[in-house]
Structures are given as structure tokens and as C-alpha cells.
Structure 1
């Protein structure tokens, strides 16, 4: 079985004398190291994927020194932390290129939550399940039979309750942080991982159209904003009730009260002249 696992950086924080927590260094997130452990236990080939800048590449290196067979770094210079939906989309596209049997995702990361597994599965159009605590017919607590193209998983429901499922492959599996303790690699594996080459792919080669800016924004709605000329060219109103001042700032009222405007009952040329005259008198032109 071939597996792809995402590895994300997480800040290791140091508390200074003033009690302020400051970023000290970045290292592979513990939840992704648990997901990597799940991959190493269940797959013959493990591909670790890091998405971002230098800290993400270092996470791939950590995965290689732990036992991953290959490492891929999707490279770009982040503005801020990558939002979950963008990370999931890039991870899914890399997984599609690798054609694995399973995509493993660590859950409840400090920077991203459980939705990454679902978003990646939606992009790939694969089945998914989360909160997995055991994988494989020999590990789950059941005697059920599973299909040739299914993997048996045990997942947490709530305190003291778990269920066993057969998930058809290929699939996205979200690994619970209590799955297992990450392994300590042998010296030979660690040295080999340090020497291994990491394949670097520019972000635009994976998701054309994305940029270092868009990766930190996520879904956004842009609205056209028109400045209010009446307020913008003078001081905000100071008198009257709050409601009256709001109406006047929006250009919907006067010092005497609220109004919805004045109807100019005149031919177009005359009406235009009166509007221009009003604007000049109120210093709006």
C-alpha cells in the first residue's frame, strides 16, 4: 500500500520573564507526526508532503529522518499561516499526482482543524473518515470481514465508545492524536533521511492561479465600496441623537431631522442645474 501524509510546521513557544509566549522555533506538528506513524505502520511506501516555506521543508526532512521513503516540498513564501481550505486543496492535488491508496491527515493541528481531511476528500472525490484510533483487521476490535478493496478502521465516537468501519480505497483518513506515540528512528534511518533529496515543486505548478497572498486569505467576498462624499469632505456631525447622526453621515438626513431626499419637479435641464447648485452650496463639488 502507498500512502501520502501531510506534515505541517507548528511553533514551539517559549515563555519569557514577562509571561509572554513568543515563537521560539518551528517543528513538525505532533498531530502530523502521529499521522506519519500511522502511515509508517500500515504502508509499504510513504510520501511526506510539506506546503509552505522553509519550516515546511524542514518538516519533510523530519519525516524522512523518521522513516518516510520520499519527500515533496510545495514551495512558496507564505504571508501568514496557510488557511485550511487552501492547504487541503494543495495536499489533495499532490496526492492525486502520486496516486496513493491512502492520504493521511493529522487532526486538531494548532493552525488547522479536522476539516482538512474532509476538504481534501471532497477535492479528490474520495471517501473519508476521521478520529481514527486503529487501522487494519489485526488492530481493530472486531471480527467483521472486509472487502478486498477496503481497509478496516476503528474510530472514536465519544468517551468510551468507538466503532469499526470498512473504508473503500483510495480514501482520506484523519488520524486521532491518540493513535500512537511517534516512533524514534534508528541511527541508520536518521542518517539516510538527512542525506535524502527532497523534491521541490513551485506552488503555481500544483495549483495554477494561487499565490502567496491567496493561500493566506481563503474564501473571500469582495464588495464595491463607495465613499460617502458628504461625510468625507467635512467633520462628522456632533449634535443630535445617535440615530440622527448616523442618518446624516449616510447622507440621509439634515440637522433638522431625517429625510429621504427632495423630489425636484422640473424639466431635466432645470433639475440638473438645481442639483449642481445644491452641491456647490454644500461644498460637495
Structure 2
């Protein structure tokens, strides 16, 4: 499981332990192997799971927009109050799915969350930004994406792993959520960055200024 998604699952389980949630549903899109990931989530404390089986020929072209549409439509069907995701994938690092899911649902979003608390019916979220930390409030229903410092995921115990085998795991197809799997992006070309030229050492500032002048940089 993606470490960010694992943190999202842990946060959902903690919300249920605090009586802030009544049911947790995990969803994953991909080939048959996804069921192993979902069983891990069930062993961590998720109540039931949905596996959206993606045909191998479509899986190569699976993009964040497809996943976002599936999650958004599943959230509507399940009448979810909170959608919790990892902040980004760890293969392509796209960091798009949470934001697009919020846009498709027209829900408020709190991305890069490092702390989540319920206050007066709203969620107060501390999120990590380039300049430090930002505290925001969002109304439920909302989409949250988990950052690394949100929590420390628990290990699935052997009894819970055994229990997970009996928990419901539904199988769906993208078409069940009305999602067309046609790729929306096409890779035109991939090129290596230019090789960096070797630097030069100078003895003093005068030599440096002279070389900069010769190069037309000053």
C-alpha cells in the first residue's frame, strides 16, 4: 500500500475509534492484485472494501482523472461524508487525485493534512505548505489528503488479518460508475535533461569578474 494511503486508512480508523465515523469503506482501482492491498486495509480496521477491477489493457492507461471519477461516483453512491486519500502516488508523484475528486464532487478540500480535529461540526485541519503550516476549517462533506506527519499507521495483527478474510469485498467495474477509461493524456516524447557542463575554478574575484565579462554575463 502507498505509504500516504496507509496513513489515510489509519486516520479513518482513528476517526471511527473516536466515534467521528460509523463505517469505513476502502476502494482501490486496478488489477486483481489490488485485493491484497484492500485486505491489508480491512485488517487495519476498515469495515468493507470495493475493488474496481480494471482490465489489463486499460490499466496501462489508467490516469488520475479516471480514479478521481470512480472515487467521486462511489462517494455519491455510498453517501460518504469524508473522502480520505494519500496526498500523492509514489510512482508518478502526480498529486492530482484528491484535488480532482473534490472538484468533481464540488466539496471543500484540505490537502497535505498533518492534523485533523473536529470542532463545532466542522473539521479543523493543519496542512503542510511551503512556508510552514496553515490551519483551515472545512465543512463536511469534504475531501482530505494525508501527509506523512498525520499519524503513524498501526501494524495489522494476526487476529485482524484472519478477520479481514471474512469482511465484505465487493467487485465492481469502471462502467458501474459510468467512467470511460479512454486515456485523456498522451505521452508525446521523453527526453533526458541536457548534460551539465563542467565548472571552472578561479584564483580570485578579479579572475571571476574577468571570466563573467568574457562570457557577456556582466
Residue in 2 that maps onto 1:87: 67
Following TM superposition, by how much is the alpha carbon of 1:219 offset from its aligned partner in structure 2, in angstroms? 4.5
Conservation of the 8 A alpha-carbon contact between 1:51 and 1:73: yes
Partner of 2:149: 178
1:6-32 deviation line (CA, Å, top 9, x unaligned): xxxxxxxxxxxxxxxxxxxxxx11111
Contact 1:114 1:174 in 2 (8 A): no
Higher Rg:
1
Whole-Å separation in 2 of the counterparts to 1:166 and 1:155: 11
Q: Distance in 1 between the 2:56 and 2:6 partners?
A: 22
User: Residue 36 of structure 1 aligns with which residue?
Assistant: 9
Question: Given that residues 134 and 155 in structure 1 are in contact (C-alpha distance below 8 angstroms), is that contact kept between their aligned partners in structure 2?
Answer: yes
CA distance in 1, matches of 2:88, 2:170: 27
**Does the CA contact (< 8 Å) of 2:88 and 2:97 recur in 1?**
no
Unpaired stretches in structure 2, ≥5 consecutive residues? 187-218
Partner of 2:111: 130
Point out 4+ residue stretches in structure 1 off by more than 6 angstroms.
Answer: none
Count matched residues.
178
Deviation at residue 187 of structure 1 after TM alignment: 2.7
Q: CA offset at residue 166 of structure 1?
A: 1.3
| Structure with larger RCO (C-alpha < 8 A, sep 6+) | 2
Query: 1:229-248 counterparts in 2 under 5 A?
Result: none
TM-score w.r.t. length of structure 2: 0.75
Question: 1:167 Cα shift?
Answer: 0.7
Partners in 2 of 1:61 and 1:81 — Cα distance? 25
Equivalences for 1:1-285 in 2 at 5 Å? 28-43=1-16, 44=21, 45-79=23-57, 80=60, 82-111=62-91, 112-137=93-118, 146-148=119-121, 150-158=122-130, 161-208=132-179, 210-211=180-181, 214=182, 217-219=183-185
SS of aligned partner of 2:51: strand
Q: Verify the 8 A CA contact 1:101 1:169 in the aligned structure 2.
A: yes
Give the alignment's Cα RMSD to 1 decimal: 1.8
TM-score (ref. length: structure 1): 0.58
Counterpart of 2:210 in structure 1 is: none
Name the CA distance, whole Å, in 1 between partners of 2:184 and 2:160: 38
* Alpha-carbon separation, structure 2, partners of 1:123 and 1:94: 12
User: For 1:118 and 1:97, how far apart are their aligned partners in 2?
Assistant: 19
Determine the C-alpha separation between the residues in 2 that align with 1:58 and 1:88. 21
Q: 2:152 is paired with a residue of what secondary structure?
A: coil
Residues 107 and 113 in structure 1, CA contact (< 8 A), matched pair in contact too? no
